[in-house]
Each structure stands twice: as structure tokens, then as C-alpha cells.
Amino acid sequence: MNISPEIISRIEEIGNDRTHGASQLARRAVKVLKIAAERGQVDSGQVDSIEQFLQEQKAVGERLMSARPARAPVFNIVSGLLNTIAGKATEMELDSIRRFTMSRADEVIKGSLEAIAQIAKYGAELIADGDRIMTHSYSSTVVAVLKAAFTKHRDIEVIITRSGPGCTGERIARQLELYGIPVTLIDDAAMGFYVSTVNKVMVGADRICADGKVVNGIGTYQLALVAERASIPFYVLCETLKFDPRLRSDAVDLEEKEPSEVVGAGRLPPGVKIKNPYFDITPLELITGIVTENGLLMSEEVIGYMKRHSVK
């Protein structure tokens, strides 16, 4: 089935996004499905049955899920919505299923935002007066937690790494500065030097794998290692939408990006290989706990929790 140029363009924007966190991209993916239902091929007369509508939604959903393979919430939120739509389709007429899809998309987005708000509450409770927190790789959830903590503890500070070739740490720094939170931006290479000056490390996540390992922005593994060496608690903040019991960490596509982000074209001899992975994998044993909308999970609880409460 042909997909409208507008929808393809929106999917490509998600695939090329280098600044937003996984939860934000997941919510944008749902909006794309909503727009496809509202203004997609139905309006051009190419869809005149529920079967064709479902085919279009599936085609758009598959493109969305393949656009960011490292980011579990995109897969989980899209596949969950598609399954819900398919389950309701036998009970409705075409116009009704379109309206249901748009309404359900709004509900899914609202649910994700509510989960972030709950994580902000739980995460803020881990932060005390005078704490200095280090973070790495952009996460809207981490930003929400630090903002919530700052309303209680005005004397906290945040050290932010540059966060890989994408420099997403700059975005965190700008946001936190707007809230009045004291921030210091450092190069990734300096994380080991500064980690002993902080009380806690807090990062987001793009996926919690079936083996409990955490996929997040490249450099997270190094930060976890230096935090363990310095005996600094290392917390991951993420909604359960990022739990993925389908895949072990060794099966995850870590999304290699353009070499030009690492070094400009022509600056090195052609025989020099340049690698630019956007994500890495942090073993569960380096993680103190994972803060979800349902509370804090200690590292030894994560795999069991995922088996009992996996996102379908």
C-alpha cells in the first residue's frame, strides 16, 4: 500500500532525530499513526474498507518501528496501538474505527506523559539537599526528575556530559538552566575525573532488554563503570514502556550513524575506518536501580518484574 508523502516525511523526521529522547519519539510515532488515520489515504479515496484502513495503519506502523530500532518504546507503543485497533475493528464501521484510532492515540500519549510525571515524583525522592548529580545522554525523563527535585532542594547541582557526537548534553544544559538549576557541562572524556565529585548518577534509557541490560546513548556504559569504581549510585529512569522482553541485548541494532559526526570528511586517510554507534549496552550489575512509574526496582528485581509485567 502506498503511504502519503506527508506521513513518510514525518517518519523520516523521527528516524533522523538526534536530539529527543526515546519517550518523546514514541509519542511522536503515535501522533503519526493518528494523522494517518485522520488525513491519510482515506481522504484521497484509496481506502474504502476497514481491511484497507488496517493495512495502511500496519504499513505506517512498520515503517515507524524500523525507523529507530534501538528504541524499544517506539516499537512497544506502536505495536500496542496497532493491536488495540485490530481487536476493535470487527466491532466498528470504517468511520468509527478511524475515530477510535485517533481517540486511542490521544489516550496512549496521555498515559506516557502521566508515567513520566510519576517517575519524576519517585526519582525526586532519591535526591537530597546539596546533592550533585551527573547525567549523560538526553532524556526528557531525567530532565523531569531534576526539575521536580529542584522545587524541593534549591541547592542541588547537575554535571552534564557532552554526550557523544550528537552533543545532546547541550540540550539538557539549556533546559535545566531555564529552570534555574546550576549546571556544568563537561566533555565525555572528563566523566571519570568528575564522577567522584557527585553523589548520584542518573540517566535515561532507550531499552531494557530481556536480559536486564540497558541500551542508552553511547558512553553510558563508561559512566556506569567509573561510577561503580567511585562507589557512586547509578540510577536509570524510564517508564515500563521501555521494557522489552522480546530481545536480548546482543540482538539489538545500536544504530550506526554518519562518520562525519566523529570527524569531518577528508580529514583522515581513506584507509582509516570511522565508527559512530549511537547506543551502548550497560550490564545490570552496574546499575543500582531502575525508577519506573511503578516505583524503584533494585537491579536484582528487574528481570523478574519484566517477566511478570511485560508490555504486550
The predicted structure's pLDDT at residue 122 = 97
Q: Which domain holds residue 51?
A: 5-118
Are 83 and 147 members of one domain? Answer: no
Are 104 and 197 members of one domain? Answer: no
Are 248 and 138 members of one domain? Answer: yes
Are 10 and 25 members of one domain? Answer: yes
306 alpha-carbon distance from chain centroid: 17
User: Which of 118, 151, 185 finishes a domain?
Assistant: 118
Are 19 and 128 members of one domain? Answer: no
Are 97 and 168 members of one domain? Answer: no
Per-residue pLDDT band at 311 (split at 50, 70, 90):
very low
Is residue 279 a contact partner of residue 115, using CB atoms and an 8 Å limit? Answer: no
Per-range mean pLDDT, top range of 65-79, 81-95, 219-233:
219-233
From 95, 129, 188, 206, active-site residue: 206
pLDDT in tens, 208-225: 999 999 999 999 999 999
The predicted structure's pLDDT at residue 298 = 94
CATH number, position 136: 3.40.50.10470
User: Which of 99, 118, 137 finishes a domain?
Assistant: 118
Are 206 and 128 members of one domain? Answer: yes
Are 105 and 180 members of one domain? Answer: no
Q: What is the pTM of this model?
A: 0.86
Counted domains in the chain: 2
The predicted structure's pLDDT at residue 40 = 55
Residue 243 carries which DSSP code?
B
Is residue 209 a contact partner of residue 248, using CB atoms and an 8 Å limit? Answer: yes
Per-residue pLDDT band at 1 (split at 50, 70, 90):
low
Are 124 and 108 members of one domain? Answer: no
Lowest mean pLDDT among 21-25, 103-107, 130-134, 196-200: 21-25
Are 133 and 241 members of one domain? Answer: yes
Buried b (16+ CB within 10 A) or exposed e, 239-251: bbbbbbbebebee
The predicted structure's pLDDT at residue 47 = 61
Are 30 and 84 members of one domain? Answer: yes
| Active-site residue, 206 included | yes
Is residue 50 a contact partner of residue 101, using CB atoms and an 8 Å limit? Answer: no
pLDDT in tens, 288-299: 999 999 999 998
299 Cβ contact list (under 8 Å, min separation 6)? 212, 284, 285, 287, 288, 289, 290
Say yes or no to pLDDT of 94 above 50: yes
CATH number, position 113: 1.20.120.420
Are 141 and 191 members of one domain? Answer: yes
pLDDT in tens, 166-208: 789 999 999 999 999 999 999 999 999 999 999 999 999 999 9
The predicted structure's pLDDT at residue 77 = 92
The predicted structure's pLDDT at residue 71 = 83
Is residue 135 a contact partner of residue 142, using CB atoms and an 8 Å limit? Answer: yes
